[in-house]
Structure 1
Amino acid sequence: MTEGLVVDRLTKRYGTHTAVDGVSFTLPPGGSLAIVGESGSGKTTTVRMLVGLERADGGTVRLDGRDRSARARGRAERLARAREIQMVFQDPYLSLDPRVTVSGCLDEVLRLHTGLDAAARRVRVAELLDRVGLGSREAGALPRGLSGGQRQRVAIARALAVEPRVLVLDEAVAALDVSIQAQILDLLREIRRAAGVGYLFVTHDLAVVRHIADEVLVLRSGAVLESGPVDRVLDAPDHPYTRLLLDSVPRRGRPLGGAR
């Protein structure tokens, strides 16, 4: 039986400032956890440690029983870890090479992480684009020729190319307008059902949490204030800070998770 992602007392300091202070949580296989909090709460630093972009000062990270806390030994282990947990950033334009077409971007990932030959990679690229609702026109485009929503779909396809166990989405819909947010959230729900991938959804916006997560973790100043099932935490929060976050959510004009 796989145990999913288990984070225990994760800590990160920058000089005398503690950015992440003993954060613990579990993401079951195929589950979806939202990590919420204001800017500076430690949520992005937490997930950057999970994917290896930051080194933790304390605590452990385990995925399906395997310890990811120690430094990876060699290129093969680094690539294996990268395949396990992939990250989608807020602004895909900054993470996509402006000189490389969409199909070239996906092909590059497949060449690095798989043993597929050129013909098999072309088939896989088409499958990935179809999964995220893109086609041959977008395949030949450069990032500047795509809309913000299309670029985010490409970023999701690139992350899915290596069949990760966990997908980290760091404010992945924050830069999109509301109608496009809804489309991307719908897409993510469909992918989760089809692929069984687990989600860590990092956001400051509680309006999207109900539409993407089963559980929610509330961070403030690097520490966990509250956690639990989304309906329980959002409908009957225990902590005043969570209630403050909820009070800041607009009550109207947010057709998230339903529009297409």
Structure 2
Amino acid sequence: MLEVNNLVKRYGGLLAVDDVSFALEEAGSLGIVGESGSGKTTTARIIVGLERADSGRIAVDGAPPPRRDRLRRARQIQMVFQDPYLSLDPRVPVGAALRETLRLHFPDSDHPARVAELLEQVGLGQDQAARLPRQLSGGQRQRVAIARALAVRPSVIVLDEAVAGLDVSVQAQILNLLADLRAELGVAYLFITHDLGVVRAITDQVLVMRHGRVVEQGGTARILAAPSHPYTRLLLDSVPRPGWDPAGVAAARRALPSTHPEGSDASHPDRT
């Protein structure tokens, strides 16, 4: 469904995305994981058209996404951000926000019926259509953001740390919702996250990035059970648990190369 080949992005002298390639199957779920400055969010922004790559190829269902037709591209790939409060207009009720999206993409559709369907799909009631974003909880706002992404029936949804700001119990509810929607609608997910628990719960494939490069990729279960790259092992060892050895983790981190060959990680524009 989504193919990314040899993606490269520079910011001045810094190579932020360095020859990144991967494929996302139809109705698949792939996680891109890495620490701050790894290049994962920059990669996501290029895929949805918010940034332009210096070189490389992106294809959705076998064809490059249109550069100048933003509406058509949006119908192929949607994005759900970490903080829905920043991506929703605080002055516009939930139902009106969904209707506006539908009017933009499908001017001849039955908007009230589709709005009702979308709210039901994400577990919200009709009474919440009249509420403003500030009148909803964080989990409810994220459900609205997911509904708005689903409104255009995209092939791929990119979720950039989409559950990072939620309580653990609410995270689980949203992840369960996303799993149900994937099974029901056949939509493919690209998860951008630093949370290996999210990767384990919701993805089939995982790609590990460091300093803009892919250091390891493959089946989620295999990589999390037996990682082959020392950086992936470091990420797994950094998760607190019984018997956790923070001193050993610190020593392992010191043993890894600390900087990108073409610049310091400290100035990297990808901060998530």
Residue aligning to 2:123? 133
The higher radius of gyration belongs to 2
Residue 115 of structure 1, CA deviation: 2.8
CA–CA separation in structure 1 for the residues paired with 2:71 and 2:213 = 30
Match of 1:102 among 82, 94, 99: 94
| Identity fraction in percent | 66
Residue 136 of structure 1, CA deviation: 1.7
CA–CA separation in structure 2 for the residues paired with 1:149 and 1:71 = 33
- TM normalised by structure 2 equals 0.87
Q: In 2, are the aligned partners of 1:88 and 1:172 still within 8 Å (CA)? A: yes
CA–CA separation in structure 1 for the residues paired with 2:53 and 2:178 = 29
Kindly report which structure 2 residues correspond to 1:61-210, keeping only aligned pairs within 5 A, or say none.
61-68=58-65, 71-72=67-68, 77-117=69-109, 120-210=110-200
- How many residues were matched structurally? 242
Aligned residue identity for 2:88 = L
Residue 209 of structure 1, CA deviation: 0.8
Residue aligning to 1:20? 17
In the alignment, does 2:34 pair up with 1:37?
yes
CA–CA separation in structure 2 for the residues paired with 1:71 and 1:173 = 29
Q: In 2, are the aligned partners of 1:205 and 1:249 still within 8 Å (CA)? A: no
SS at match of 2:165: coil
In the alignment, does 2:45 pair up with 1:48?
yes
Residue 65 of structure 1, CA deviation: 1.2
SS at match of 1:61: strand
Aligned residue identity for 1:188 = L
In the alignment, does 2:2 pair up with 1:10?
no
Structure 1 segments of 4 or more deviating over 6 A? none
- TM normalised by structure 1 equals 0.91
Q: In 2, are the aligned partners of 1:207 and 1:249 still within 8 Å (CA)? A: no
CA–CA separation in structure 2 for the residues paired with 1:207 and 1:193 = 20
Residue 247 of structure 1, CA deviation: 1.1
Identify which range, 133-142 or 85-94, moves more after superposition: 133-142
Q: In 1, are the aligned partners of 2:4 and 2:58 still within 8 Å (CA)? A: yes
SS at match of 1:86: strand
Q: In 1, are the aligned partners of 2:93 and 2:133 still within 8 Å (CA)? A: yes
Aligned residue identity for 1:139 = A
Residue 210 of structure 1, CA deviation: 1.3
Residue aligning to 1:257? none
Q: Which runs of 5+ in 2 are unaligned?
A: 243-272
Residue aligning to 2:57? 60
CA–CA separation in structure 2 for the residues paired with 1:250 and 1:193 = 32
Aligned residue identity for 1:65 = G
Residue aligning to 2:233? 243
Residue 66 of structure 1, CA deviation: 0.8
Q: Which runs of 5+ in 1 are unaligned?
A: 253-260
Residue 137 of structure 1, CA deviation: 2.1
Residue 138 of structure 1, CA deviation: 1.3
Residue 116 of structure 1, CA deviation: 2.9
Residue 248 of structure 1, CA deviation: 1.7
CA–CA separation in structure 2 for the residues paired with 1:214 and 1:177 = 24
Residue aligning to 1:255? none
CA–CA separation in structure 1 for the residues paired with 2:27 and 2:200 = 17
CA–CA separation in structure 1 for the residues paired with 2:90 and 2:3 = 36
Q: In 2, are the aligned partners of 1:30 and 1:198 still within 8 Å (CA)? A: yes
SS at match of 2:7: strand
